């Protein structure tokens, strides 16, 4: 058997995708012009699929901070924190994130993926129990492959399903660690966090929440779903990423646990990879200041969510269950999703296409993510374009046909 | 704890005494598994104890894990993901469920 034979099924599916002309997994941004525009296939394209929720990738103050840091401290750290030491700015960034949440400790990672992978796989050890939401991000699933703890999934966003699993553990010794996400990355839906926290309290379980898509977007101060639900103190570990709202790259975990720092010498995804370069640390610190100083960006983001979500809903599209910075549009099957995605690209709009096995319950989706600096005109135009394509593809009823049939 | 639903299902003759020890007949478990797997059956060959779930049927790994969650709630057991990964046949899945029930 050849090395790649076991991927035969996937290769077939991938070939199907590519027959549509473009390969959604190898899109080339020939030139990125702004948080909402890029040149793709030689044409100016509206970006509605880049998780750039506040549009800070081109924020003047963040860019200046990064440039200054490069001038001052160079382009890279060329090693990990334990090997090459921490720069003053790494430590300052950790302190600022901890303060942002009112938590005592923070560890910064080179990506959010590594933060989840490292923290989750290390927190729960042999004889412990890890309980994860069925729709968890790949980084959480991968952590489960690495952990020595027993892993059980519970039904997505279903506190009673979690409770049944905690109850079944009975009085077995071992820590219980429950992993949740603030906003889920495919459909933009939120966890019923208050209910989950109550269940966890009842069974003495630790709560780890990944606020990757909710940092900045949710809460009066942008701390995420834990702020909205008023349970920051009950979330023992809050993980997040710098790669979305903060417009750069990197991940973090905050906690009040007095022994938290032991993770610095136990989490391999922290110990054995190079630390963030000075430019990134500087732009992230500045982006965090912007998040605090400009709450209007959050308002703009949600106004834009309403424009797109309500606009598509009114046209008859089937969407994720609630408003979110991610708007997932359900399509009947994989090939329709890919064809639809391609037609949108031809019309100058870039979104993500998500098809099984990357999606929960085998659904096929167009995954749109909004930006505070999208304009209402851009989004109204997008709804129009999607409505047109939806009729062409038979996803929405064709008005003319319906009228003709009625006669 | 046992739900009323389970009690009615098992409330016949010998099964009733087994219920007290959380026992459930093998046939019962297999029947339930087959209900979940039927949509993924291909060709003429019926689903049986020796059916290799991921190979003989069109079910993907995520759908297998979702089916396991349903079975967990039906039989009030939790099957760790690492155990699921080692299960290949319908028989193995049924035995795992029965063993876990007996232990709890
Ligand atoms: C829920 C969730 N967690 C973690 C990550 C990983 O973040 P990063 O891009 O920083 O690796 C992502 C994004 O891909 C995500 O959607």
| Mutation to probe ligand 1, out of A113, A120, A179, A216 (largest number of atoms < 8 A from CB) | A113
Beta-carbon contacts of A191 under 8 Å, excluding residues fewer than 6 positions away, are A133, A157, A180, A181, A182, A184, A209, A225
Residue A183 is given by DSSP the state: B
| Alpha carbon of A217 to ligand 1 centroid (Å) | 15
For residue A314, give the DSSP letter: H
User: Is the CB–ligand 1 distance for residue A214 below 6 Å?
Assistant: no
Q: Is the pLDDT of residue A153 over 70?
A: yes
The secondary structure of residue A275, as a DSSP letter, is P
**What pLDDT does residue B42 have?**
87
Q: What is the pLDDT of residue B94?
A: 96
Residue A2 token pair: 């050849």
Do A253 and A288 share a domain, yes or no? yes
- Which residues lie closer than 8 Å to B19 by C-beta, 6 or more apart? B2, B6, B7, B10, B11
- Angstrom distance (rounded) from CA A89 to CA A69: 10
Record: contact B76-A164, CB cut-off 8 A: yes
Residues A37 and A183 both lie in one domain = no
Q: Same domain, yes or no, for A386 and A301?
A: yes
Cβ–ligand 1 distance for A367 under 6 Å, the answer no
* Domain shared by A301 and A283, yes or no: no
pLDDT at site B7: 38
Return residues 41-60 of B near A (CB < 8 Å): 60
The verdict on a CB contact (< 8 Å) between A356 and B62 is: yes
**Residue of the CA atom closest to atom 16 of ligand 1:** A185
Report the residue of chain A nearest B76, measured CA to CA: A168
A167-A173-A179 Cα angle (round to 5): 60
- A292 CB neighbour count, 10 Å cutoff: 13
A127: left (phi over 0), alpha (psi -120 to 50) or beta: left
Work out the average pLDDT over A18-32.
Answer: 83
Distances (CA, A) of A322 to A183, A214, A345, B75: 11, 14, 25, 33
Query: A228, A133, A238: which is closest to A187 by C-alpha?
Result: A133
Give the H or E element holding residue A364: strand A364-369
Reported confidence tier of residue B15, pLDDT bands at 50, 70, 90: very low
Mean pLDDT within A61-73 = 98
Q: Give the separation between CA A212 and CA A115, rounded to whole angstroms.
A: 11
Answer yes or no: is pLDDT of B1 > 50: no
| Pairwise CA distance, residues A54 & B60, whole Å | 37
Q: Are residues A165 and A277 in the same domain?
A: yes
Asked if the C-beta of B6 comes within 8 angstroms of chain A's C-beta atoms, the answer is no
Cross-chain Cβ contact A134/B63 below 8 Å: no
Q: Among A272, A293, A314, where does a domain finish?
A: A293
CA A127 from centroid of its chain's CA atoms: 30
User: Residue A2: inside a domain, yes or no?
Assistant: no
| Same domain membership, residue A258 and residue A235 | yes
pLDDT of residue B11: 42
Indicate the SS3 state at residue A291.
helix
Q: How far is B22 from chain A (nearest CA, A)?
A: 13
pLDDT tens per residue across span A197-218: 999 999 999 999 999 999 999 9
pLDDT band for B18, please (50, 70, 90 cuts): very low
- A344 CB contacts (<8 Å, ≥6 apart)? A350, A351, A366, A385, A386, A389
Q: Is residue A8 one of the residues assigned to a domain?
A: no
Which residue does chain B place closest to A359, by CA atoms?
A: B62
Confidence at B5, pLDDT banded by 50, 70, 90: very low
Secondary structure class of A240 (helix, strand, coil): strand
Q: Tell whether the model's pLDDT for residue B29 goes beyond 80.
A: yes
- Interface A–B counts its CB contacts (< 8 A) at 42
Does B39 touch chain A if contact means CB atoms closer than 8 Å?
no
- pLDDT, mean over chain A: 95
Whether residue A132 lies inside any domain: the answer is: yes
A134 near B CB under 8 A: yes
- Does A233 share its domain with A338? no
Domain assignment present for residue A208? The answer is yes
Helices (H), B1-104: 4-10, 14-20, 26-37, 53-56, 61-75, 81-86, 90-103
CATH classification of the domain holding A383: 3.90.1150.10
Distance from CA of A20 to the nearest CA of B (A): 24
Question: Could you report how far apart the first and last alpha carbons of chain B are, in Å?
Answer: 11
CB of B66 within 8 Å of any CB in chain A? yes
What is the per-residue pLDDT for A181? 98
Which residue from A152, A168, A360 is facing B76, i.e. has the nearest CB?
A168
Residue A1 lies in a domain: no
Q: Which protein residue's CA is at the shortest distance from atom 7 of ligand 1?
A: A112
Residue A198 and residue A76 share a domain: yes
Q: What is the pLDDT of residue A7?
A: 78
**Does any ligand 1 atom lie closer than 6 A to the CB of residue A339?**
no
The pLDDT of residue A403 is 52
Of the residues A293, A317, A342, which one is the last residue of a structural domain? A293
Q: Where are the alpha helices (DSSP H) in A19-126?
A: 60-73, 81-84, 88-101, 112-123
Mean pLDDT of B68-76: 96
Q: A367 CA to middle of ligand 1, Å? A: 15
Q: Is the CB of A185 under 6 A from ligand 1?
A: yes
Distance CA A221, CA A227 (A): 8
- Segment A124-149 mean pLDDT: 96
Query: Does residue A383 sit within a domain?
Result: yes
Nearest CA to ligand 1 atom 10: A112
pLDDT band with cut points at 50, 70 and 90 for residue A1 = low
In which residue are the tokens 């923070």 written? A106
In this structure, chain A runs to a length of: 407
* Domain harbouring A179, CATH code: 3.40.640.10
Q: Tell me the HSE value of B91 on the side-chain side, using a 13 A CA sphere.
A: 5
User: Regarding the domain delimited by B24-103, which CATH topology (the fold level of the hierarchy) does it fall under?
Assistant: 1.10.1200
Identify all chain A residues contacting B78, using CB atoms and an 8 Å cutoff. 152, 165, 168-169
The pLDDT value recorded for residue A348 is: 98
Percent of chain A with pLDDT over 90: 89
Q: Long-range pairs for B83-90 at CB < 8 Å and ≥24 separation?
A: B87/B53, B88/B52, B88/B53, B88/B54, B88/B55, B89/B49, B89/B50, B89/B51, B89/B52, B89/B53, B90/B30, B90/B33, B90/B34, B90/B37, B90/B47, B90/B48, B90/B49, B90/B50, B90/B51, B90/B53
pLDDT at B25 over 70: yes
Q: Which residues of B touch A154 (CB under 8 A)?
A: 69
- What pLDDT shows up at residue B20? 40
pLDDT-based confidence at A177, cuts 50/70/90? very high
Q: Indicate the pairing of strand A352-354 with strand A364-369.
A: antiparallel
Length of chain B equals 104
Report the separation in Å between the CA atom of A209 and the middle of ligand 1, taken as the mean of its atom positions: 12
pLDDT at A2 exceeding the cut of 90? no
Quote the CA–CA distance of A86 and A57 in Å, as a whole number.
25
Check whether residue A77 and residue A189 sit in a common domain: yes
Segment A208-263, tens digit of pLDDT: 999 999 999 999 999 999 999 999 999 999 999 999 999 999 999 999 999 999 99
At residue A404, does pLDDT exceed 80?
no
CB contact under 8 A, A144 and B78: no
- Domain of A382 in residue numbering reads as 15-47+295-406
Say how far apart CA B81 and CA B103 lie, in whole Å. 18
Mean pLDDT (whole number) for A6-29: 77
Segment (H or E) for A107: strand A105-109
Q: Reduced to 3 states, what is the DSSP secondary structure of residue A133?
A: strand
Q: What pLDDT was estimated at residue A407?
A: 43
Q: Are residues A322 and A263 in the same domain?
A: no
Domain count within chain A: 2
Selection from A234, A186, A244, A233 nearest residue A211 by Cα: A244
Q: Are residues A339 and A214 in the same domain?
A: no
Do residue B63 and residue A362 have CB atoms under 8 angstroms apart? yes
Quick one: tokens of A62? 């963040």
When scoring B65, B71, B80, B103 by the number of chain A Cβ atoms within 10 A, the one with the most, hence best to mutate, is B80
pLDDT 10s digits, A326-384: 999 999 999 999 999 999 999 999 999 998 877 888 899 999 999 999 999 999 999 99
Rounded (5°) CA angle A258-A263-A267? 165
CB nearest to A152's CB, from B60, B61, B80: B80
Ligand 1 midpoint to CA A251 (Å): 8
User: A40 vs A29, A47, A244, CA distance in Å?
Assistant: 5, 10, 21
In a domain, A53, yes or no: no
Q: A269-282 pLDDT, tens per residue?
A: 999 999 999 999 99
Query: Could you tell me if A397 and A326 lie in one domain?
Result: yes
**DSSP letter at A31?**
E
Q: Is the CB of A241 under 6 A from ligand 1?
A: yes
Residue A245 CB less than 6 A away from ligand 1: no
């Amino acid at each position: 058997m050849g090395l790649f034979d076991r991927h035969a099924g996937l290769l077939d599916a991938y070939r199907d995708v590519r027959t549509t002309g473009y390969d959604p997994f190898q899109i080339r941004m020939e030139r990125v012009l702004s948080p909402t525009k890029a040149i793709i296939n030689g044409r100016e394209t509206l970006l509605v699929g880049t998780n750039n929720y506040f549009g800070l990738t081109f924020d003047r103050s963040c860019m200046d901070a990064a440039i200054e840091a490069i001038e001052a401290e160079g382009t890279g750290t060329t090693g990990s924190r334990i090997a090459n030491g921490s720069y003053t700015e790494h430590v300052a960034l950790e302190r600022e994130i901890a303060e942002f949440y009112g938590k005592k400790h923070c560890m910064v990672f080179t990506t959010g993926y590594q933060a989840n992978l490292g923290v989750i796989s290390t927190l729960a050890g042999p004889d412990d129990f890890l309980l994860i939401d069925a729709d968890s991000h790949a980084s959480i699933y991968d952590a489960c492959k690495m952990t020595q703890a027993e892993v059980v999934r519970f039904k997505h966003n279903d506190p009673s399903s979690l409770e049944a699993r905690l109850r079944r553990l009975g009085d077995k010794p071992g820590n219980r660690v429950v992993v949740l996400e603030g906003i889920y990355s495919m459909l933009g839906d939120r966890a019923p966090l208050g209910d989950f926290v109550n269940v966890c309290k009842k069974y003495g379980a630790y709560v780890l929440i990944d606020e990757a898509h909710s940092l900045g977007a949710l809460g009066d101060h942008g701390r995420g779903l834990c702020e909205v639900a008023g349970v920051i103190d009950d979330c023992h570990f809050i993980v997040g990423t710098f790669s979305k709202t903060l417009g750069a790259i990197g991940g973090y975990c905050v906690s009040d646990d007095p022994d938290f720092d032991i993770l610095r010498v136990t989490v391999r995804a922290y110990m054995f990879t190079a630390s963030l370069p000075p430019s990134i640390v500087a732009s992230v610190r500045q982006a965090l200041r912007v998040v605090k100083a400009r709450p209007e960006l959050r308002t703009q983001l949600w106004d834009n969510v309403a424009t797109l979500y309500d606009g598509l809903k009114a046209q008859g599209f089937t969407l994720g269950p609630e408003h979110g910075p991610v708007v997932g549009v359900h399509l009947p099957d994989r090939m329709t999703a890919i064809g639809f995605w391609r037609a949108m690209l031809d019309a100058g709009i870039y979104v993500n296409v998500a098809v099984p096995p990357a999606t929960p319950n085998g659904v096929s989706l167009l995954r749109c993510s909004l930006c505070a600096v999208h304009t209402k005109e851009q989004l109204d135009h997008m709804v129009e374009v999607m409505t047109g394509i939806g009729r062409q593809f038979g996803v929405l009823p064709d008005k003319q046909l319906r009228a003709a049939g009625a006669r | 704890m046992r739900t009323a639903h389970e009690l009615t299902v098992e409330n016949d003759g010998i099964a009733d005494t087994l219920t007290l020890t959380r026992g459930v007949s093998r046939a019962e478990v297999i029947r339930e598994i087959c209900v979940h797997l039927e949509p993924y059956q291909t060709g003429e060959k019926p689903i049986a104890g020796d059916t290799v779930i991921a190979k003989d049927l069109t079910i993907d790994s995520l759908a297998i894990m979702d089916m396991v969650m349903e079975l967990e709630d039906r039989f009030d057991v939790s099957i760790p993901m690492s155990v699921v990964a080692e299960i290949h046949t319908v028989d193995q899945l049924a035995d795992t469920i029965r063993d876990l029930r007996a232990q709890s």
